[in-house]
Structure 1
Amino acid sequence: MKPVSLKEIADQLDCLTQGCVCYLNKKTGEIAEILTEYMAIAEDSEEDDDFSKYLGWEQDAIREALTVLDNWDDYIELPDEDEVNDYRIMEDFCYSQENEKLKN
């Protein structure tokens, strides 16, 4: 797995909007942010589907979703905004420390 910037991942998760899912490419370290609407279109598509009825940026989003789906083993789905609980993450980290001074 290529090293990735934890700050970049945290920044990406911090900016997530409703209906977006992020996928980390383990080989390249790049993060793909895809609206669930376009992921659903990609999942329901057939190989010969024509996406010309969509705007250019929508076609790009669908193609990116298809890339993720076609190379699923290369990606890790990052938690969405509902799964990220900053306080719980900090609390879990504190409790995982063995040094009592660091826990408090």
Structure 2
Amino acid sequence: MGSKVKLSELADEMDMQMDDHFQLVNKETGEIVIIMESLVRIAEDGEPYDHLPDWQQEQMELAIDFVEYDMAKYLPIPSQFDINEYGMMEDFCFSIKDSKAQDKLLHAIRGKGAFRRFKDMIIDLDLEEDWYDYRDKRYKQIAIEFCEDNGLEYVE
């Protein structure tokens, strides 16, 4: 096993999912790697890339490495669908001891627009800091489980 995965970096990356990017852990180095899908397609097609700017040249080398080694070397980090932030919000609501505040939060997360209403309600109820602490702990736990499930060593 290579270097250890930094839990804080993994949790942050899970929180900041980007469309059109592969977000991966290099199993050998523990490094979080982000590669644009368009560059992976260029690497898969074997197209020349010397015309790209320097920063994209470095990304292309990562993309080529990813195409060559794929899952032998890289693991995709848990996606937003794996994480289920709605379930996280619901669990947070049930963790609130004040029954009136809990009811308001549970009502806020029902139906379309749940995320926006939830954010507004945690601000109104002065629970914003509590929510972000709760959420950070859950992301960290998901990161730990991901590492353990995949045999990756990790550090705080």
TM more than 0.5: yes
| Other structure's SS at 2:5 match | coil
Unaligned runs of 5+ in 1: 93-104
Q: What amino acid does structure 2 have at the position aligned with 1:88?
A: G
| Other structure's SS at 1:28 match | coil
- Output the aligned Cα RMSD: 2.4
Matches within 5 A, 1:1-104: 1-2=1-2, 3-45=4-46, 49-72=47-70, 73-88=72-87
Unaligned runs of 5+ in 2: 92-156
Distance in 2 between residues matched to 1:68 and 1:75, nearest whole Å: 7
| Structure 2 partner of 1:99 | none
Q: What amino acid does structure 1 have at the position aligned with 2:20?
A: G
Q: Which has the larger radius of gyration?
A: 2
Q: What amino acid does structure 2 have at the position aligned with 1:42?
A: A
Distance apart, 1:91 and its partner CA: 6.9
User: Could you state the TM-score of these two structures normalised by the residue count of structure 2?
Assistant: 0.48
Distance in 2 between residues matched to 1:17 and 1:51, nearest whole Å: 23
Distance in 1 between residues matched to 2:37 and 2:50, nearest whole Å: 19
Distance apart, 1:25 and its partner CA: 0.9
Larger displacement relative to structure 2 (27-36 or 62-71): 62-71
Q: What amino acid does structure 1 have at the position aligned with 2:10?
A: I
Distance apart, 1:7 and its partner CA: 2.1
